[in-house]
Structure 1
Amino acid sequence: MNTRTWAAGAILAAAVIGWAGVSSAEDGELMRIGADAFGGGRAVDIDGAGIDDVAAGGGTVDLATDVSGSVHLLGRRVTVEGAVGGDLYAGGMEVRQRGAVAGDVTAMGYSIETGSIGGDLRVWGSSVIVGGPVAGYALLAGDEVRIDGVIAGDARIAARTLDFGPEARVEGVLTLLETDDTQLSVRDGIAARVEHRRISGMDEALDDLAPSPAALVWGFVRGVLVVTVLAALLAALLPGPLAGLRHRVLDQPLRSLWIGAMSVSVLIGGAVVAGLTLIGILAVPFLLLFAALLGFLGYVVGVYALGVSIVNRAGRGMPDGFGDRALAALAGALAAAVVALIPVLGWLFALGLALAGVGAMAIAWANPRFFAA
């Protein structure tokens, strides 16, 4: 499978996702462009004559008719009942291919079952069943793999458990990829040539990629310095507004926290809605980028407020000058970085700081009021 094939699949997948947002209200409705069919929704049934290529996505997707071209399907449950004249690309929790496919089949999901295939087979899943003949090679990766058909070419399999039905056979070379925890066995008559290849070197490769202790320390120090410098610059350039934000975070932490959470949720939710309208899909990356930048700026504000609280409790009083503000920024950045090292709780603490900072900015800019008379 070449790069052009993957690119075509990606383009058709994007079309499926976009069309799903338009047609979700009319389940089963198809859009036809020439001989090609596109569909999306909670339940998509693809039927009709004279269809060439198909691209569809939804909760359940059922191809109930024969098509002459290639098929791209995405969904929670995908079923192919009709014959496919080209290639099949499918992804979902459950993928069932019952109609014959003249070309290649590429499928990814949790539970996958294939039928008759005139080309090559490539499958990644948890439960994989090869239920029909494969005219080309087979590349199978799964937790549980079962072969009931005849594979005319080579087969390369990586699995935890491997079973063969009574009619199963591999006419080419059967290569079993094994680890220290998996030992796969093949009964006599399945394949004339069986190769066992151990997957080794993975642990060593991961060890090589793991950062050294010096790199970890430098990363920690660098993160503290970046946040300190940004907070100090904000304190120097905008001392009054930053003092107001700090005051809101310290005096109204819970209000700042939940308004910040609502503000970020509105931005992310707005990006999703904009994407579903298709017209506003170009605004999605900008909305997400703005949400990320706002969250980081909120973290800087929250860190500065934390540092001011620490410095004040240490007896130095509220900052009154660039030196005091820089010291407060350093104290807050260091304290936040240390707490962030705690598993789970550290992440929640950092998230709380960011949301509280965002909430303080939202209160300052919009002054939202709820349940007001």
Structure 2
Amino acid sequence: MFRSILLLCATLIATPALADEVYRFGDDAYIAGDNVTLSGDAVDDAFVAGNTVVISAPVTGSAHAGGRSVSISAPVGQSLYAAGMNVNVSAPVGGDAQLLGDTVLVTAPISGDLRLGAQRAEITAPVGDDALIAAEHILLTEVIAGDASFATKSISFGENARIEGTLYLYADEPEAIEIPAHVVPADRIERHDADAFDPTADPDGGATAQPSSGGWASWLGSKVTAILILTAVATLIAALAPSFLMNLRERTLETPMRALWMGFLSISALAGSLFLFALTGYGILLVPASIVLAVLLGVAGYVIGTYILGVGVMSALSRPLPETLSERAIAAAIGAVSVTLLALIPVIGWIGVLAIAVVGAGALIIRWFAPGFYTEMR
């Protein structure tokens, strides 16, 4: 997931205004700009973003590329992650490939799994393992060694096309799509409605969305488990830093709107800083740090906000503020139950949960940095 987020962010920050900037750290290469080409000696991992992107230097590790037009013309030893309007893979990939674009062409072998999303997809080279492809139009002319999951409107096959495993076909009218016998026998084809396709599934064994099992018991069990985990984490923090958490609790309950505002500003600043870092060229190295810090602040805010909510509920019920570990555990449990129930409210519940996390993050920032507005300088 993190790699996908990083690739998406790199694609968004690749604007034509950037001059080409190349930075090599250890054996890895980072490059961003307008029309960028990674060439020369082999690198371990590559991170490339721009308008037009070409990777023509061998990558022994994994390659990450994002732009309007992306071309992979040198071998990638491990995994490939590429996104763009047009993506062309014309060199072998030693591991898995995850490709996203309007038109995606795969003209060189993929040794591992292929996961592809596009308007038009052409696979004219062998795939060494399983393939999961979602595209309106698919062309397959070579061999897929494992299972294949296709979500599509139309498929064309070449004479050498073959699927060694099971074909899982997803379409509005799956029975209307003809699959030649030389590609895969009829007894190894499973046809499903398009709505059953799950793009997040493992390519091995089909991509059919599985209905939830267990009914109410399973649903209730998952909620109870989530409550217990959240209670345990909040209680642990209260046990390790009781004074720190008490200070957060007092300040937040006194001025909840200030905590909400500071949390919103802090998370927005961390998430938005990736664009500013990217403009410096070399600052693209800090983009992952910005994302990680924003996520960590949000998670910490969620736990702290849950505990503060629990204390607030106890105060509203005329209960004394928690002083002992058992009382803090009760407050954490009340907060966890309250947040879980709040999340169940249709439409607006998630907004309330988000507000609690933002308030907790703001309380943390206020405690650490004590920011202020409209203060006089003397």
Name the TM-score, length of structure 1 as normaliser.
0.63
Q: Decide whether aligned partners of structure 1 residues 259 and 75 sit closer, same or farther in structure 2, where only a CA change above 3 A counts.
A: same
Q: CA deviation at 1:355?
A: 2.2
Aligned to 2:100: 92
Aligned to 1:252: 255
Aligned to 1:226: 232
Conserved 8 A contact 1:308-1:329: no
Q: Does 1:40 align with 2:52?
A: no
Amino acid at match of 1:93: G
Q: CA deviation at 1:359?
A: 1.9
Stretch deviating more after TM superposition (320-329 or 72-81): 320-329
Q: Decide whether aligned partners of structure 1 residues 114 and 139 sit closer, same or farther in structure 2, where only a CA change above 3 A counts.
A: farther
Conserved 8 A contact 2:70-2:82: no
Aligned to 2:108: 101
Deviations 1:10-53 (A, max 9, x none): 9xx9xx999899422353232421599967222234387xx666
Aligned to 1:147: 156
Q: 2:366 aligns to what SS in structure 1?
A: helix
Q: Does 1:157 align with 2:167?
A: yes
Conserved 8 A contact 1:36-1:53: yes
Tell me how many residue pairs correspond in the alignment: 331
Aligned to 1:353: 356
For 2:297, which of 291, 295, 298 is the aligned residue? Answer: 291
For residues 21 and 147 of structure 1, what CA distance do their matches in structure 2 show?
A: 38
Conserved 8 A contact 1:46-1:63: yes
Q: Decide whether aligned partners of structure 1 residues 92 and 85 sit closer, same or farther in structure 2, where only a CA change above 3 A counts.
A: closer
Aligned to 2:201: none
Structure 1 unaligned regions, length at least 5? 1-8, 183-196
Aligned to 1:60: 68
For residues 91 and 311 of structure 1, what CA distance do their matches in structure 2 show?
A: 54
Aligned to 1:338: 341
Amino acid at match of 1:150: E
Conserved 8 A contact 2:239-2:325: no
Stretch deviating more after TM superposition (108-117 or 287-296): 287-296
Q: CA deviation at 1:253?
A: 1.7
Conserved 8 A contact 1:59-1:75: yes
Amino acid at match of 1:94: D
Q: 1:359 aligns to what SS in structure 2?
A: helix
Q: Decide whether aligned partners of structure 1 residues 341 and 44 sit closer, same or farther in structure 2, where only a CA change above 3 A counts.
A: same
For residues 46 and 341 of structure 2, what CA distance do their matches in structure 1 show?
A: 52
Q: Decide whether aligned partners of structure 1 residues 358 and 37 sit closer, same or farther in structure 2, where only a CA change above 3 A counts.
A: closer
Q: 1:207 aligns to what SS in structure 2?
A: coil
Q: CA deviation at 1:257?
A: 0.5
Q: Does 1:29 align with 2:24?
A: no
Stretch deviating more after TM superposition (348-357 or 169-178): 169-178
Amino acid at match of 1:353: I
Q: Decide whether aligned partners of structure 1 residues 47 and 339 sit closer, same or farther in structure 2, where only a CA change above 3 A counts.
A: closer
For 2:118, which of 106, 110, 133 is the aligned residue? Answer: 110
Conserved 8 A contact 1:340-1:346: yes
Conserved 8 A contact 1:78-1:90: no
Aligned to 2:182: 170
For residues 136 and 297 of structure 2, what CA distance do their matches in structure 1 show?
A: 40
Aligned to 1:369: 372
Amino acid at match of 1:116: T
Q: 1:226 aligns to what SS in structure 2?
A: helix
Q: CA deviation at 1:231?
A: 7.9
Conserved 8 A contact 2:80-2:93: no
Q: CA deviation at 1:163?
A: 3.4
Q: Decide whether aligned partners of structure 1 residues 263 and 338 sit closer, same or farther in structure 2, where only a CA change above 3 A counts.
A: same
Give the alignment's Cα RMSD to 1 decimal: 5.2
Aligned to 1:191: none
Aligned to 1:192: none
For residues 44 and 337 of structure 2, what CA distance do their matches in structure 1 show?
A: 59
Aligned to 1:189: none
Structure 2 unaligned regions, length at least 5? 12-22, 196-204
Deviations 1:207-256 (A, max 9, x none): 25985477357437635853784587489x42xx6555334323322111
Q: Decide whether aligned partners of structure 1 residues 363 and 180 sit closer, same or farther in structure 2, where only a CA change above 3 A counts.
A: closer
Aligned to 2:17: none
Q: Decide whether aligned partners of structure 1 residues 300 and 348 sit closer, same or farther in structure 2, where only a CA change above 3 A counts.
A: same
Q: 1:150 aligns to what SS in structure 2?
A: coil
For residues 118 and 328 of structure 1, what CA distance do their matches in structure 2 show?
A: 58
For residues 299 and 227 of structure 2, what CA distance do their matches in structure 1 show?
A: 22
Q: 2:121 aligns to what SS in structure 1?
A: strand
Aligned to 1:307: 313
For residues 336 and 286 of structure 1, what CA distance do their matches in structure 2 show?
A: 24
Q: CA deviation at 1:146?
A: 0.7
Conserved 8 A contact 2:230-2:303: no
Q: 1:29 aligns to what SS in structure 2?
A: strand
Conserved 8 A contact 2:88-2:104: yes
Conserved 8 A contact 2:234-2:304: no
Conserved 8 A contact 1:231-1:301: no
Deviations 1:158-186 (A, max 9, x none): 22236359xx672553521134889xxxx
Percent identity, aligned pairs only, is 16
